[in-house]
Structure 1
Amino acid sequence: MSTSSRTLALLSGLAAVGTLSTTIILPSFPAMAASLNAAPQDMALTLSCFFLVFAVGQLLVGPLSDRYGRRPVILSGLVLFVLGSLLGASATDLNSMIAARVIQAAGVCAASVLARAVARDLYDGPALAKALAFIMVAMAAAPGFSPLLGSLIDSHLGWRISFLLVAAAGVILIVGYTFSLGETHAPSARLKMTASAIVKAYLQLLGDRRFALPALAVSLVIGGLYAFFAAAPAIMIRGMGYSSVQLGLFFAATVFVVFSSGILAPKLAQRWGSVPVALTGGAVALTGGVLQVLFYQDQQLGQFSIAICLFLAGMGVINPLGIAITLQPFAEQAGLASSLLGFLQMAVAATATWLISALPLSTGLSLGATLCTGAVAAMIGFALHRQNDLQAINQQVARQ
């Protein structure tokens, strides 16, 4: 089946709307904090709660859609997401905002996770590759460019309009999905795994070092990315005095660092091997974290830019290679492995963003400490994975 532009746009929107709803409000954190009578650093809680619920939701919506079909799960999730967005637009304090973000996450995780499942239902071969490429571009572009949109909205219309905008996006997706796509998961293909069987399968994956080590490694550097998202508004707007529009431009510029390193990573891996290149990416990311620790006090934009760009360059190398290393041995369990990897990434993101507000340190130092910890732990994970592979090879040679 060939890919239609309408279907690709719909799948890309489903995949990106969750990230859009998070990153579009980042430049508004100072204004939101003032309106909600909250400390600026406490706004990171709206991220950590979102990511935690999103993480757990990923483990549930996949099996639910395998059993009951994609359509009811996606549409129900989108309705819940719209409700959460409207509640966010009317929030009057931090607790009500956190509640709204929890509802948003509970709903939107279905759309974001199942966009790839719908693509697998509809396409195969080159058409599937094209569809997944569009989805990944949308997911990568959303966190880079949506803060700029959010900053413009914040400057001219106020932060509550951003929530109304993502609610409108949810309504458009509901209408588009209802009239453009029917149920894509045939009843004959549906799985009826029991809850205990699903839990057992997830636990088996977690107990397999081939999955657990690289999965945790890539999740830890992704956590650093979201820690940067959480800390940047306080550092640049409150600390350096930049406007929300300038923060949005900064976020947009960092997208090109991630894109460039992500494109370079597979080429380097072909020559030097995925794990050695991933370890090198970890060293680059660690350098950025160390510089953030050294420069956090009275930090200027140039120092912050160098530290963050180095971390993001290393993260951009690790992300595609780490995901490939994690999923490579599990072709027959690709769906479960992908869902569990997504859960780990969002769980670590929730922890990292929570640390930004929870650590008894300045925001800049908290960010640097989080980046360093994630990079070091990721390097340890990849090193142990490489050692595990070498041991397996030696055992195989000994048996021969």
Structure 2
Amino acid sequence: MPATHETASAQDGTAPARRLTGGTLALLAGLSAIGTLSTTIILPSFPAMARDFDVTTRQLGLALSSFFVAFAIGQLLIGPLSDRFGRRWLVLGGLMVFAAGCVVCALAPSFAVLILGRVVQALGVCAASVLSRAIARDLFEGEALARALSLTMIAMAAAPGFSPLLGSGLDVAFGWRWTFLLVGAAGLLLGLRYLAALGETHPPDRRSAHAPRSIAAAYGQLATNRIFLMPALAVSCIIGGLYAFFGASPAVLLGVFGLTPLHLGLLFAATVVVVFAAGLLAPRLARRFGARRVALAGIVIALGGGSILLASSGTPNLPLFTTGVTVFLFGMGLVNPIGTAMALQPFGQQAGLASALLGFFQMGCAALGTWLSTSLPLPTMAALGVILVGGSLAALAAFAGYRVPAAIPGPAIGKA
């Protein structure tokens, strides 16, 4: 990928931007994706885990929703702490806590202990995920920021595509407990790579101390700022649908359609192409047509995919199911990086805080989506269709009134 240079704006307090290199992108992608990878890699193991803990596959959705709730809450603390103390030690400490949670899950003697381990995992790994966006905002501006966020968001969305295939192989070869141990080891290796390659990106002269009251006030200001709120909510509603799909997929694909864990992994891997293509197209389309138009188009496409799933839920059909999922994922791949860049770009001096609140919205919607996928009094496929359609409509409502501020420069955002 050609190197890109951008000059940071003195007005928003950012430091001079660095070169956008493949190594930096790979590291940011790894930090962003490790949390989702640790969640979806266990999906093919749900039948074995259900047998070991004497629960149903659908009840194992609690292992997802509990993770997302802890993930969402943890980010609210990580963001302001990173603005005050820097990114490095929070990323490294978080990955060590995450590895400890992986060990708890691997050794869990009961379902309750597994859930506890999942919460510990989430509280640790949320730092890497939320701060990957803040680090990108520390380092890059304009088009470089959009490219960095686009490719890290691709990784975050693509990791669930590859990880079930990897998880199915690990489950067959070693069993699901070893899967947790290997993911924890990957987290530690990622931390070492981060320490060697990037280190601290938020120097002391750019840090701001936040008292608890000022943190609450800052979150309140962001949460009521339409420039941040509208794209953040739109992206989060779509992400909620994505994770509802992850939560429901074992019950649908293994239970309704009778696929094997390996088939489930292969189907998920095939979705990566769709997400990757949409993510690469998003910044280019935004430059040509404007970010708002492309983001709205992505939401409408996602709504179409959810509608296909809902319409076909009465007579489950695997080709229609995969078509609906593919259409939804393409729309999600368009709106996710664009909406993320639109929400974060105006808030460079509060990058940690803004990224944390965005992550809270996203993981809160993910928790709601996975909980609804296991709790609605409907067949799983019908429940998934309702969630995808409802989430897409909510995203459309959140984003319909948004206007790109004229003060936000650069082709990364575009003009409506």
What stretches of structure 2 of length at least 5 have no aligned partner? 1-17, 407-416
Could you tell me which amino acid in structure 2 is paired with residue 385 of structure 1? Answer: Y
**Equivalent residues of 2:235, 2:340 under 8 A apart:** yes
Q: CA deviation at 1:127?
A: 8.4
What is the rounded CA distance, in whole Å, between the counterparts of 2:67 and 2:89 in structure 1?
A: 22
TM-aligned CA distance change 1:304 to 1:99, over 3 Å: same
TM-score by length of 2: 0.84
What is the rounded CA distance, in whole Å, between the counterparts of 1:130 and 1:302 in structure 2?
A: 33
Q: CA deviation at 1:7?
A: 6.2
Match of 2:130 in 1: 113
Q: CA deviation at 1:323?
A: 2.3
**Equivalent residues of 1:62, 1:114 under 8 A apart:** yes
Higher mean displacement: 319-328 or 102-111: 319-328
Match of 1:144 among 139, 151, 161: 161
Match of 1:279 in 2: 296
TM-aligned CA distance change 1:172 to 1:31, over 3 Å: same
Secondary structure of the residue aligned to 2:293 is helix
What is the rounded CA distance, in whole Å, between the counterparts of 2:21 and 2:344 in structure 1?
A: 28
What stretches of structure 1 of length at least 5 have no aligned partner? 391-400
**Equivalent residues of 1:282, 1:314 under 8 A apart:** yes
Match of 2:183 in 1: 166
Flag the structure with higher helix content. 1
Matched, 1:339 2:322: no
**Per-residue Cα deviation, 1:60-119 (whole angstroms, up to 9, x for no partner):** 112212323333322221221111101111223322111111000001111222234445
**Per-residue Cα deviation, 1:191-224 (whole angstroms, up to 9, x for no partner):** 2121211111110111122322222112101111
Match of 1:326 in 2: 343
Match of 2:311 among 277, 294, 298: 294
**Equivalent residues of 1:37, 1:93 under 8 A apart:** no
Secondary structure of the residue aligned to 2:309 is helix
TM-aligned CA distance change 1:385 to 1:181, over 3 Å: closer
Higher mean displacement: 278-287 or 88-97: 278-287
TM-aligned CA distance change 1:170 to 1:384, over 3 Å: same
Higher mean displacement: 355-364 or 174-183: 174-183
What is the rounded CA distance, in whole Å, between the counterparts of 1:216 and 1:257 in structure 2?
A: 23
Match of 1:373 in 2: 390
Higher mean displacement: 126-135 or 23-32: 126-135
Match of 1:396 in 2: none
Matched, 1:60 2:77: yes
Secondary structure of the residue aligned to 2:401 is helix
TM-aligned CA distance change 1:121 to 1:312, over 3 Å: closer
Higher mean displacement: 48-57 or 137-146: 137-146
Rg larger in structure: 1
Q: CA RMSD in A?
A: 2.9
TM-score by length of 1: 0.87
Matched, 1:36 2:53: yes
Match of 2:115 in 1: 98
Once superposed, which parts of structure 1, at least 4 consecutive aligned residues long, lie more than 6 Å away? 3-7, 122-131
Match of 2:89 in 1: 72
Q: CA deviation at 1:175?
A: 4.1
What is the rounded CA distance, in whole Å, between the counterparts of 2:321 and 2:399 in structure 1?
A: 27
Size of the aligned set, in residue pairs, is: 389
